Each structure stands twice: as C-alpha cells, then as structure tokens.
Chain A
Amino acid sequence: MRSPTDGPLAGAPIATRRRGGRAAFALIPFAILVGAFLLVPTVALVWGSFHDSNTGAFTLSNYSYLGDPLDLVPFRNSLELSLAATILGSVVGLLIAQAIVSSRRPIVQEIATTFSSVAANFAGVPLAFAFGATLGLNGLITVALKNNGIDINEGGFRLRSLMGLIVVYAYWEIPLMVLVMLPPLQAMKPSWREAAEILGASRWQYLRSVAIPILMTPFISSLLLLYANAFGAYATAYGLTTGFVSLVPIEISNLTNGDVSHNLGVADALAIGLAVIMAICIGSRAILERRSTRWLAR
C-alpha cells in the first residue's frame, strides 16, 4: 500500500527519475515471453479457427459444430459434468468449511487448510490412477462392496464414464471449495450474530438477513471457479478415460494429435468455444470479486 503522502510519478526524486527510460527495458523479457507464448498463440488460434487447415483458405466451416446437435455432444457432456461436479463440490465443500469453522480450534483450521491444499493440488494423471485403484473394476472399494453383495458395476456405475468423472472431479472440487469459502466464513464476526440475537432475531432470520446476503457473493464466485475448473480440466479426464469419453478438452486433443481425426482448424474452433465459456466464468468472477472485497475486507 502506498501512503497518502506519496507524490505522483513526476514527484519522484531526480535519482530515480533520471533513468526512467532505461527502466522500461527491464520489461522487455516479460513482453517477449507473454507475447510469444500467450498472445501470439491466442491470435493464431483465432486465425486458425477461420481457416481451413489443409488449404489455408478462409472458411467458417470449422465452426459448423455449433449448428450440429451431434457435434455439440462434447459440449453437452462437459456442461453436465461440470455442473454436477460443481454442485457436488460446492455443497459438500461448504458443509466441510462450516464444520472447520465450527470446530473453533485453530489447530483444526490449520491442518484442514493444508490438507485441503494437498487434495486440491492432487489432480491429473496420478489422481486418475488413484481412483482406478479405488473404484475401478478391481478397485479396493469395488471389490470390498462386491464381497458384501453390492455390485456397483452391475448397479450401473462405471469409473471410466461421465458418472465416474463426476466422482473424481469432486475430489479436487470439494477441497477447492473449502479453501475459497473458509476466509469468508471465518470473516463472519460473532458480534454480527450477537447483535442479531440481541435484536431478537431467530436463527433463521439471522441466516436470511445477515449471513446469506453477505456470503452470497463469495459463494457464487466460488461456483464459477469450480465450474471453470471442471470445464477446462483435461489431464484427469484423459488419465481416467484415455480419451473415450467425449468432452470438449478431450475432443480438442483428439483433433490436435489424432491420426484419423487430425484437424487443427476444428480444434482451434473448439478451443475458441471453450475459451468463451472460461471467459464468461472468470470474467463474472472478477466482477463479483471486486464487489465482495468491499464487504469482507480484513
């Protein structure tokens, strides 16, 4: 934070102002890296999505998936998977976060935070195989349940399916929810509740008029984060299904790397579609975040 006495840029002493021109050179490496590996590839994506990858001619046909119900299946699958993983992750995550806050023990809060961080970071291929050992055809739980007369595979559960992916995605969505909801839950001051009680509010009235309005913004913001994270995830889905469940990230990789289906133009167009969804989530989140910091400032 700058103190109010700090002058504007022009007020800087001569010693630091003199070399102002040279300081700009220090920004060049950053500009080159961001330009070469973020901006140029993004522009190339947009350009490639409007050009035939074989002939190089301008075309809109890469976007024909938007009008074809069959080609929209990966989007529908991704939407459903992300929605289910978000709902599961947010409900369970919120419950756990509140349990951590209610435990009233700093040590529990500290351990839980570290634990959640490990779990939220444990994703991708290793997580997929960990679940293979747990809920796969010969997984520990699968076999244990079968020995007790419950066959989850017969019951319709397959780990290498959308349903399986929901369970696996929840493994990092839940701790992520815990981590993003803990600070706002901890910031709820006991005095607010006491004030409400003194004024004769019931538990429900306190929730409805105080807690929920304050927590609504961070809650919706974390839903958007969870949703975007599930939608853009590739490593876990690929590790679990080796590309057999049709999701947007999986289709993109098949079109980029696949021998049969190789078509970079369509991959670019799908990637743009995915980027639009991510932008909606991240953009709305940034707007909400700006609003909530006003309320939950430390």
Chain B
Amino acid sequence: MSNPSITGEATEEAIAILPGARARERASRRTGRARRTPAWAAVVLMVAVVYFLLPLYATAVFGFSTGKHFTLQPLWDGLADDGFQTSLQLSLMYSIATTLLALIVVAPTAYLVELRFQRLRSTIEFLTILPFVIPPIILAVGLESTYGINSPVNLIASSWAPVLLMGGYFVLTLPFVFRAVDNALRAVDVRTLTEASASLGAGQMRTFLRVIVPSISLGLVSGALLAFTTAMGEFTLAALLGYPTFPVYLLNINGYQPREGEALVIVSFVITWAGVIALAVVARRAPGTQIVRGGPM
C-alpha cells in the first residue's frame, strides 16, 4: 500500500480544486496507486446493500402475494381504494401548497438578507435552525396548544384548518429550503447582478424575477424537492392534529388490510426514491446540494 512518491505541485492543486472522489482518483492515477477495491471494502459494501434491501424485499414479498403466489392484486386493490385516493390527493395538495409557499416566502427573504439585511443574517439563521430543536412532535403540541380545540384561536375546527397544517409544514421544511436557496444565492454575486440590473433600468421586482430567480434556479429546484418530499412523508403533525393524509392512512390500513398496506408501503418508498433521485440529479449539476433532510422523523 505504501507509496512514498512525492506529490507534485499539480496534484496538490487537483486535490484542492476537484471535489473529494475525483481528486483522489486523479491523484492516485498520477502517483501510480492501485485502483483496486480492497477486499474488505467490497465485503462491507455488499453486506450493507443486502441489509438495506432486505426490508424492502420482505415488504414486496408480503405486499405482492396472496399467501403463496406472486400477484400484484393487493397493489391494485390498495390503489383502487377510495381511502387511498383521497388521502394521497390530500397529501399531494398539502405538499404542493407547502412547496409553493416555502419558495415564494423564503426566496425573496433569503435574497434580501444577502443583499441588504446582513445584520439580520444571524437571527434568520437561528430561526432556520430552530425547527431542528423543535422536532415535529414538539411543534405538534405547540400548535395544538396555540390553535387547538382548547385554544381561544381555534383554527383546527375552522375553515382555516388547511392553513394550520401548511404553516406547520412551512416551519418543518424551512431549514432545508432556506439552506438550499441561500447556498445558491451565495454562489452567485447577488450584489453585482442587482446593481447591473438596476443600472439598466430594471425595478426591484423585475430584477428579482428576471435576473436573480433564473440564476438560483437549481437551488430553488432542490429546495422545492426537499420541501415536497418532506411534506409527502410527514406523519407526526398530520396524525396529532388530525389530518387524514397518506402516511396516516397507511398506518390505519395496515390494521385491517395488511397486504394492501405493505403494497402501499412500496408505493410510498417509490415516492421517496423518486424525490431523492431527482435531488441527486440536481446535486450533480450544483455541487453542495443537500440530499438528505437530517431531522428527526
């Protein structure tokens, strides 16, 4: 393994510029290191893959069979169920609404903080970390205390109920959305772009929509994907505040239709998978994109 060749100036530079993996690859090629995967690493990776696929395989075995034979019947039954369709529609509605709300509110805020209100940066950053300290279960109790049945501001039993869940989801997705948008904003020279646009006679709104938004579009897309997948899979707030979304339905159906339930678990997995793959595609074009939420679920 040891190869005491002296690393040249150019290699050092390659390491500094390129992100980890590829830099190492190049460095090792130049210094003549072997490209072979060590046996122990191959074994560890194979065991890991098996471990992570096992629960999915077991779920598919249960969900795609009626006792002994393979069939997709439970899946079709599950998909045809009214309860499933209503709950999925509700989840989609809340997820799309939350995503739009988050982008429309967070993007201008992050832009103005970067451009003009740098003094507010530490406050805003604190606010965007706060949802990690207040995980969904605490937020649910807080919202229940503030807007629940016993509160003078009873939103839950009013026509404002959808706003309550959207507000909760806005808070839950805030850390990811803010970071995604803020990273994108910091990667472009917001100040110069804004000044150039203004000197050409564009108003603030026009500058934001026609200059800033297109130049941070990847950040907006990754923020949107993070918000959407978070809201689609969110269980805690919906269950405690009483919204029959898809994850809540999934819990209930497993009580009386376990095979359909397991088939729908696969559906839920596919939704997660699609979201993460989409994020990975974005991340490939915009390095530094966060593709894991990293909050308690």
Contact = CB atoms under 8 A, between A and B. Distances in A.
Task: Note whether A and B form a binding pair.
Answer: yes
Interface of A: 1-3, 6, 9, 12-13, 15-16, 19-20, 22-24, 26-27, 29-30, 33-34, 36-38, 40-42, 44-45, 48, 53, 95-96, 98-106, 108-110, 112-127, 129-134, 139-141, 171-172, 174-176, 179-180, 182-183, 186-187, 189-191, 194, 197-198, 225, 228-236, 238-239, 249, 252-253, 256-257, 264, 267-268, 271, 274-275, 278-279, 282-283, 286, 298
Given A48-B145, A129-B250, A229-B296, A271 B273 contact: no
Interface in B104-125: 104-106, 108-109, 112, 115-118, 120
A65 B61 CA distance: 45
B195 A190 contact: no
A121 B132 contact: no
A134 B58 contact: yes
Contacts of A278: 132-135, 138
Interface of B: 2-7, 11-12, 15, 19-22, 24-25, 27-28, 31, 33, 35-38, 40-42, 44-45, 48-49, 52, 54-59, 61-63, 101, 104-106, 108-109, 112, 115-118, 120, 127, 129-146, 148, 150, 164, 167-168, 170-171, 174, 186, 189, 191, 194-195, 198-199, 204, 229, 233, 235-236, 239-240, 247, 250-251, 254, 261-262, 265, 268-269, 272-273, 275-277, 279-280, 291-297
Given A20-B116, A40-B146, A140-B57, 15 more contacts: A13-B199, A15-B198, A19-B204, A23-B204, A29-B109, A96-B48, A102-B37, A103-B45, A105-B35, A117-B291, A127-B55, A140-B58, A233-B297, A256-B140, A298-B19
Contacts of B293: 120-121
Which among B45, B104, B164, B199 has the highest number of chain A CB atoms within 10 Å?
B45
A105 B239 CA distance: 43
B141 A239 contact: no
Contacts of A27: 108-109, 112, 117, 120
Contacts, number: 333
B20 A3 contact: no
A283 to B, nearest CB: 8
A133 B265 CA distance: 11
Contacts of A40: 146
A249 B40 CA distance: 39
Which among B38, B141, B261 has the highest number of chain A CB atoms within 10 Å?
B141
